[in-house]
């Protein structure tokens, strides 16, 4: 086992006195809920990603829910997506009363395989929810082309992808314009940019943006900011069902400061990722993250495929015992107890699938990725010594797990 030391977490948010000072503004102003800081954060975010409209919300989960409602997803519809994602992606479809139709991933990128999408399109399909997994852009150009052929909407789950880039139309563009109809971002503490929690929607469609703002504030036709500034008495109305999905001005003030840091945060993460690749080059069977030539990741997470004879849990426990946090490969929603057989589809007609519970032959690569990959620590303040320790411990853990498996097989 590698020499123990101070505990190395899977991630750390990058926050200091600059964010603390920013939070003072709304706290001392007396306006702490959605207000002028949120509005300014939205303007600065549009400038960053090149979007025409941005709308801040309380989380990326609420952003996904609002995005799907806005493009017309309703009870009885189907939305094509990947099971291989944090469960919020699939949950947001079910919040609309619709059914997620899961498509397998490309094992090299961990993203939805565009070549498998058209085979599951039916008359009930309303949209495609594509995911830029762990910060690596999916092949959104191919997905949009498929969607346009079938008159479907495209929502990008860009929860992990702030600052990531894709080659689109012959030039490099930041994720978030969006390239589909709507993009959804997360500001959870595990993400590159954080506001404690929060989310953002971006779009080029002014009507979509109008609906975002209705949905996030109970369907209120006159925002409270307008009412408070009016010299006349204003009565708002509630024309349709909405939600309390607002971001606070305290969060937005922190987010504005985080936006200033973003270039240095991504530069550092890419440098750490490159160094990880060099350190891992002589670990037999381990596969580091792959970047296609048309995409650049922000390396929100650094995911390594373990050698095929390794026990994932044993490797992770070995590293935890050595004071290093890891996470398993990205979960698969269809394997969770919350997803019974009737709650999702893989495109096989009901009654024709004979796969056991928690397994699906059509989602084999998704399941392998969950079972064979682990996420290593990566954060802005990570030192080279910490990285060296992570890789040395991983090497010991893989050797130990492989030796344990060999002994078991021999007996």
Question: What is the pLDDT, as a whole number, of residue 167?
Answer: 92
302 plus 221 within the same structural domain: no
> Is residue 54 assigned to a domain?
yes
Alpha-carbon distances, residue 164 vs 135, 152, 308, 382 (angstroms): 6, 25, 30, 20
| Domain range for 384 | 262-410
pLDDT band for position 224 (50/70/90)? confident
Are 283 and 244 found together in one domain? no
Residue 278 above 50 pLDDT? yes
Stretch (H or E) spanning 282: none
Q: Do both 256 and 269 map to the same domain?
A: no
The answer, yes or no, to whether residue 270 has pLDDT greater than 60, is yes
Question: What CATH number is attached to the domain comprising 368?
Answer: 3.90.1150.10
Please indicate, yes or no, whether residues 274 and 251 belong to a single structural domain of this protein: no
264-292: average pLDDT: 97
pLDDT at 3: 54
Judgement on whether residues 203 and 84 belong to the same structural domain of the protein: yes
pLDDT at 239 over 90: no
Q: Is residue 95 one of the residues assigned to a domain?
A: yes
Residue 1 located in a structural domain: no
Looking at 207, 233, 260, the residue that finishes a domain is 260
Please tell me whether the overall predicted TM-score, pTM, comes out greater than 0.85 for this model: yes
* Res 323 pLDDT > 50: yes
Grouping H, G, I as helix, E, B as strand and the rest as coil, residue 269 is: helix
Per the structure, how many domains does the chain have?
A: 2
Per-residue model confidence (pLDDT) at position 410 = 45
Question: Which of the listed residues 260, 295, 325 is the one where a domain comes to its end?
Answer: 260
Query: 295 and 192 in one domain?
Result: no
Statement: residue 135 has pLDDT above 70: yes
Task: List pLDDT tens digits, range 330-342.
Answer: 999 999 999 988 8
> Which of 225, 242, 260 is the endpoint of a domain?
260
Q: Per-residue pLDDT averaged across 159-165, rounded? A: 98
Residue 212 shares a structural domain with residue 112: yes
Residues 33 and 166 grouped into a single domain: yes
Convert 87-137 into a string of H (helix), E (strand) and C (coil).
CHHHHHHHHCCCEEEEECECCCCCCECHHHCHHHCCCCEEEEEEECHHHCC
pLDDT band at 355 (very low <50, low <70, confident <90, very high): confident
CA distance 170 to 140: 14
> Is 408's pLDDT higher than 80?
no
- Let me know whether 330 and 214 are in one domain: no
- pLDDT beyond 80 at 353: no
pLDDT of the residue at 62? 98
What is the structure's pLDDT at 229? Answer: 74
Asked whether residue 10 is assigned to any structural domain, the reply reads no
In a domain, 11, yes or no: no
- Per-residue DSSP letters for 177-238? S-SSSEEEEE--TTSSS-SSS-EEEEES-HHHHHHHHHHHBTTBSS-HHHHHH-SS-----B
Asked if residue 5 is part of any domain, the answer here is no
Q: What per-residue confidence (pLDDT) applies to 309?
A: 83
What is the predicted pLDDT for the residue at 404? 59
In a domain, 190, yes or no: yes
Contacts 24+ apart (CB under 8 A), 98-101: 98/68, 98/73, 98/74, 98/126, 99/343, 99/344, 99/345, 100/129, 100/333, 100/343, 100/344, 100/345, 101/125, 101/344, 101/345, 101/346, 101/347
Same domain, 27 and 88: yes
Q: What would the two tokens of residue 222 be?
A: 């006159």
Residues 271 and 353 in one domain: yes
- Same-domain status, 233 and 161: yes
| Structural domain includes residue 7 | no
Q: What is the CATH number of the domain that holds 100?
A: 3.40.640.10
* pLDDT above 90 for 401: no
- Mean pLDDT, all residues of the chain: 94
Task: For residue 236, name the pLDDT band (cuts at 50, 70, 90).
Answer: confident
Share of the chain above pLDDT 70, in %: 96
Among 168-172, 308-312, 340-344, whose mean pLDDT is lowest?
168-172
Instruction: Over range 266-271, report the average pLDDT.
Output: 98
């Amino acid at each position: 086992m590698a020499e123990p030391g101070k505990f190395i977490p899977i991630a750390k948010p990058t926050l200091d006195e600059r964010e603390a000072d920013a939070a003072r503004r709304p706290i001392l102003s007396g306006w702490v809920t959605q207000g002028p800081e949120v509005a300014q954060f939205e303007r600065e975010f549009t400038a960053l990603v090149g979007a025409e409209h941005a709308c801040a919300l309380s989380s990326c989960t609420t952003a996904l829910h609002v995005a799907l409602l806005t493009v017309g997803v309703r009870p009885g519809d189907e939305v094509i997506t990947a099971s291989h994602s944090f469960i919020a992606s699939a949950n947001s479809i079910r919040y609309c009363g619709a059914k997620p139709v899961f498509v397998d991933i490309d094992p090299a990128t961990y993203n939805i395989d565009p070549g498998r999408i058209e085979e599951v399109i039916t008359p009930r399909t309303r949209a495609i929810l594509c995911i830029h997994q762990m910060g690596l852009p999916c092949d959104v150009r191919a997905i949009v082309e498929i969607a346009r052929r079938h008159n479907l909407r495209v929502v990008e789950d860009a929860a992990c992808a702030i600052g990531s880039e894709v080659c689109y139309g012959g030039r490099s563009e930041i994720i978030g314009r969006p390239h589909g109809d709507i993009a959804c971002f997360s500001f959870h503490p595990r993400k590159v940019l954080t506001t404690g929690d929060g989310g953002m929607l971006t779009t080029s469609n002014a009507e979509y943006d109008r609906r975002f703002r209705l949905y996030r504030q109970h369907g209120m036709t006159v925002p409270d900011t307008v009412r408070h500034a009016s010299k006349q008495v204003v009565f708002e109305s509630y024309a349709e069902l909405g939600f309390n999905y607002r971001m606070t001005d305290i969060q937005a003030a922190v987010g504005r400061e985080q936006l200033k840091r973003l270039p240095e945060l991504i530069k550092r993460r890419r440098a750490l990722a490159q160094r990880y690749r060099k350190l891992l080059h002589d670990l037999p069977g381990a596969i580091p993250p792959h970047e296609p030539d048309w995409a650049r990741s922000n390396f929100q997470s650094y995911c390594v495929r373990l050698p095929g004879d390794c026990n994932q849990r044993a490797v992770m426990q070995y590293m935890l015992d050595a004071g290093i946090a890891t996470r398993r490969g990205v979960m698969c929603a269809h394997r969770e107890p919350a997803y019974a057989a009737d709650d999702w589809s893989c495109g096989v007609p009901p009654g024709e699938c004979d796969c056991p519970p928690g397994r699906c032959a059509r989602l084999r690569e998704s399941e392998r990725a969950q079972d064979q990959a682990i996420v290593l620590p990566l954060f802005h303040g990570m030192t080279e010594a910490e990285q060296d320790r992570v890789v040395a411990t991983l090497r010991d853990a893989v050797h130990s797990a492989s030796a344990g498996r060999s002994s078991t097989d021999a007996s």
